[in-house]
Amino acid sequence: MSRSPPAADSYQQGCIRMTLENADLWKSFHSIGTEMIITKHGRRMFPHCSISLSALQPFANYIIMMDMVPADSFKYKWKKEQWEVAGKSEPQPPCRTYMHPDSPAPGSHWMKQPLSFLRMKLTNNTLDQHGHIILHSMHRYYPRFHVTQADSPYTVRWGPFQTFSFPETTFTAVTAYQNPKITKLKIDHNPFAKGFREGGTHSHSKRCRSNRSPPAKRATLDREALCNSPPGLQRMPSTSESVEAGKDQQPSKERDLSACSVEQESLHAEPLELQEYDYSCEEQMVPASVPYQPYRSQEYARFPLPSNEVDAVHTLVHPPHHPLATAEHNPQQHGYYHHPHHHSHAVDWSQYPLFSYSCW
């Protein structure tokens, strides 16, 4: 873990610093081409996202959110030991935002220890009712983290927020591992994988229809921890009831995370373009006071940052670094992403959906 503590002299009031905690592991995977399993019922990420924050205002409340953004506009296939572009991407599934269950919490809380997004799950089930992040298989994504000063999840839009992303966290969503190198790397690092592997005998003839005990207590508890109500019921803080309901559902104390995902209305996201990117940069310094005009009724379904502020916020954008997105398939590419609004035809970051809210 090459985590560089913020030097005292680098600290600036009003600047938030975010560090990817397990960056080395992420880089190991990224160098091969990270794959994340997605299943109908939701699968955790491995490596999972863990970040640390500094330079927050200790007594101000913050909300930390995470979402997944398409890394490009292609669909891929695994062929002959490598990824190939298989056409244009599918229309984006409902985009959800996962809110860290400690949210809202004071800056001192967030800075106390790294934040884990271990329990966040990925699914390919567009009808998912559990608040998992919905992705398309064979598409590439990267996680994005949002920090906003707010006293409740329902006032998020009224405050400035900053967005962070880490190039090495880009991955391909798959329903089954394609690259055996990834499988091996995961097994080496993920204790859960050992059980089945080392079990040895795997007899499919022994299969029987679900004679395992049904999910009960723990599953229920976990679900309770979710900010989990039918999509239609929470259309954002328009009613005081929904606000209160949301508060009630926030667990006061959680060992880890629960999903409080926010389904977004905008189903469309344009590809990132290629941009030069510095791998050495694990941390991103971002000005805290983004002059963001909070309320714009028309734009709520979209990422609320005006494009001219995006540069300040996204100090990094993401590298494809996929063996596959070859120049042949991707005329723009020189191996790096572009910042969208650097080109006239490029799509504004505001087209990436963030909390347009139907909060689970």
Contacting residues toward DNA, per CB under 7 A: 37, 39-41, 43-44, 46, 77-79, 86, 119, 124-125, 136-138, 174-178, 183, 186-187, 190-204, 206-213, 215-219, 221-222, 255-256
Query: Between 60 and 187, whose beta carbon lies closer to DNA?
Result: 187
Residue with tokens 């997004």, as numbered in its chain: 117
Q: What is the nearest approach in angstroms of DNA to the Cβ of residue 273?
A: 25
User: How many C-alpha atoms does 200 have within 13 Å on its Cβ side?
Assistant: 0
3-state DSSP assignment of residue 85: strand
Query: Between 108 and 175, whose beta carbon lies closer to DNA?
Result: 175
Query: Between 8 and 216, whose beta carbon lies closer to DNA?
Result: 216
Label each residue of 92-160 as H, E or C: CCCEEEEECCCCCEEHHHHHHCCEECCCCEEECCCCCCCCCEECCCCEEEEEEEEEEECCCHHHHHHCC
Q: What is the nearest approach in angstroms of DNA to the Cβ of residue 184?
A: 7
Q: What is the nearest approach in angstroms of DNA to the Cβ of residue 347?
A: 25
Query: Between 17 and 132, whose beta carbon lies closer to DNA?
Result: 132
Q: What is the nearest approach in angstroms of DNA to the Cβ of residue 37?
A: 5
Query: Between 46 and 161, whose beta carbon lies closer to DNA?
Result: 46
List phi, psi (to 5°) of 94: -55, 125
Query: Between 259 and 346, whose beta carbon lies closer to DNA?
Result: 259
Whether 266 and 348 have beta carbons less than 8 Å apart is answered as no
* Beta pairing class for 283-287 and 15-20: antiparallel
How is residue 221 written in tokens?
């508890």
The residue count for the chain: 360
Q: What is the nearest approach in angstroms of DNA to the Cβ of residue 82?
A: 12
Whether 271 and 346 have beta carbons less than 8 Å apart is answered as no
Q: What is the nearest approach in angstroms of DNA to the Cβ of residue 38?
A: 7
